[in-house]
Amino acid sequence: MSTSESDTIADTEQAPQENTNRRQPFPRGFLDTISTGWAERPDQLPPPREQAPYAAARRDVVSAAFTGKRLVLPAGSLKQRSNDTDYPFRAHSAFSHLTGWGADAVPDSVLVFEPNGDAHDVTLYLRERADRTTPEFYADATVGEFWIGPRPALEGVASDLGIATAHLDAFESREGDVVLDEDDALTGFVSELRLVKDEYEIEQMRLAVEVTGRGFDDIVADLPRIVATPRGERAVEGVFHLRARTDGNGEGYDTIAASGPHACYLHWTRNDGAVVPGDLILVDAGVEVDSLYTADITRTLPVSGTFTDIQRRIYETVREAADAAFAAAVPGVKFRAVHEAAMQVIAARVAEWGLLPVTAEEALDADAGGQHRRYMVHGTSHHLGIDVHDCAQARREMYYDGLLEPGMVFTIEPGLYFQIDDLTVPEEYRGIGVRIEDDILMTVDGPVNLSADIPRTADEVEAWIARANAAP
């Protein structure tokens, strides 16, 4: 960052004066001329964006469920990273879902449902751009256009999103407001509203998966350089980040680039290890597109290009579990049946390998079993969408015990993880971690694997790496 808020500030009559001892005042000539000489802003309003009618339909559902209640859904504010720098802003998922505002949403905006008989008048309050005659334009590093670039006007946002708008200064909180993340009923409802995706959301999920697939191709193509980099896991993360930022808004979550024993740590995001030939590298990554919908895909790659016999045995067992889970995922079954199908395979195989003190059947006992879970402690599936763990505030009876319906999007991601110091497994298993994760769309005809084009089987993965190595 070449400049900061501390570099410059207006005089005492025109700008805030906190910490003025470290800021340079503007000369009088600057203050006399900065507000003049600017071209008129174009008056043409944008047409409604593609997602506007879908967001309006979602708002109608919320309105009908909370008749007579004033609903307040904040977008959220900037969050400090350190000193005077902030993390990139990302609006609250429910706010974006109900407005259609994605990566371009403005911090501190508030969506308000004002009761009007049996319906609501919906208004989006936002901080409109400041006139160029005000010090905010040039002196406020947080919202000033001289610092952060053009900001939207109220009329433009209203046309773009198809929502009535008003200046943020006009918003007032009131006693009795039902506020997102403060009221369990509202928070749960807008979370459950996302369990079944509409056509626009499904299109965005397909796009996110497509771009993520290109990111995995980039990693495979760059494996030689990655291996040569002392902290190769960081190189993997960087290669994927370039694709995510080039073709999308960024990553939907911190990339896991876990090589060798690091693959056994489920949420390894330090990504500071070497990528060593002979090891496997587990990459769990997803691109978040500009609408904020994200993919969530995992592939486990043999760094040398081919699996060893033991690596292949573990890998293909995980794939077998994933395939069993996919076969179990049909409309009308409980969501948790997907996990149960994967667990049957995992328990059977680790028992067959002599790793369990009990039989597979005993391990699968709901009350007294679970011994196989030592090697796969996480669940097999979660809902996916505008959040990587979408619909997380939904009630259990709507989520884990809910029924699979057309329009749902979820992951299938079994794994096997043998920690480097786990004395319950033979030495040749230790330090091997494998996960295969795909993004699944439920349709009336059954499940569709949105990420099926990204190589999955051991043979396909080896051929994938070989093609990349053979490329000129």
| pLDDT at residue 222 in the model | 98
Q: Which residue has the higher pLDDT, 130 or 472?
A: 130
Give dist(CA 352, CA 341) in Å, integer. 17
Whether 342 shows a pLDDT value over 70: the answer reads yes
Give dist(CA 26, CA 15) in Å, integer. 10
Give dist(CA 76, CA 90) in Å, integer. 8
Which segments of 48-198 does DSSP mark as H helices, in order? Answer: 52-65, 93-99, 135-139, 145-148, 154-161, 184-192
Whether 391 shows a pLDDT value over 90: the answer reads yes
| pLDDT at residue 160 in the model | 97
Residue 366 buriedness (CB in 10 A; 0-12 / 13-18 / 19+): exposed
Structure tokens at 380: 């097999």
| Count of residues making up the chain | 472
Segment 153-198, tens digit of pLDDT: 999 999 999 999 999 999 999 999 999 999 999 999 999 999 999 9
| pLDDT at residue 379 in the model | 97
Q: How confident is the model at residue 23 (pLDDT cuts 50, 70, 90)?
A: low
Give dist(CA 219, CA 247) in Å, integer. 15
> At residue 448, what is the residue type?
V
Segment 70-121, tens digit of pLDDT: 999 999 999 999 998 999 999 999 999 999 999 999 999 999 999 999 999 9
Give dist(CA 415, CA 85) in Å, integer. 38
Report the range of poorest mean pLDDT among 130-134, 319-323, 432-436.
Answer: 130-134
| pLDDT at residue 129 in the model | 87
Query: What is the mean pLDDT of the segment spanning 427-437?
Result: 98
Q: What domains sit in the chain, N to C, each tagged with a CATH number?
A: 28-192 (3.40.350.10), 199-470 (3.90.230.10)
| pLDDT at residue 13 in the model | 43
Q: Would you say 141 and 130 are in contact if contact means Cβ atoms under 8 Å apart?
A: no
Q: Would you say 305 and 448 are in contact if contact means Cβ atoms under 8 Å apart?
A: no
Give dist(CA 91, CA 108) in Å, integer. 9
